[in-house]
Amino acid sequence: ISPLEWLVLTITIVFGLVMELINTAIESTVDLVTDLYHHRAKIAKDVAAAAMLVYAFGAIIIAALIFIPKFLG
């Protein structure tokens, strides 16, 4: 793959790791604030997890755009 594609993949991977760290920080902070079930705490955790999931789908699309043309020819 080209240097530009390597750069895009590297940024994609690093940003994914950063997203996961932010997700973990949000979930840990919510757990620290309350031990009891609270609807807003659930929303905060679910939205943080959903952000990571959306990013993961975007990363798959980026990888597909880079690698599928290489496999096809």
In this predicted structure, what is the pLDDT of residue 73? Answer: 84
Reply yes or no on whether the pLDDT at 22 is more than 90: yes
pLDDT digits (tens, 9 = 90+) for 39-69: 999 999 999 999 999 999 999 999 999 999 9
In this predicted structure, what is the pLDDT of residue 50? Answer: 96
Q: Give, rounded to a whole angstrom, the gap between the first and last alpha carbons of the chain.
A: 13
Instruction: At 36, list the tokens.
Output: 């009891």
Q: 0.75 exceeded by the pTM?
A: yes
| Residues annotated as part of the active site | 20
**Using an 8 Å Cβ cutoff, are 52 and 18 in contact?**
no
Q: How far apart are CA 17 and CA 22, in angstroms?
A: 9
Reply yes or no on whether the pLDDT at 36 is more than 90: no
| Percent with pLDDT over 90 in the chain | 88
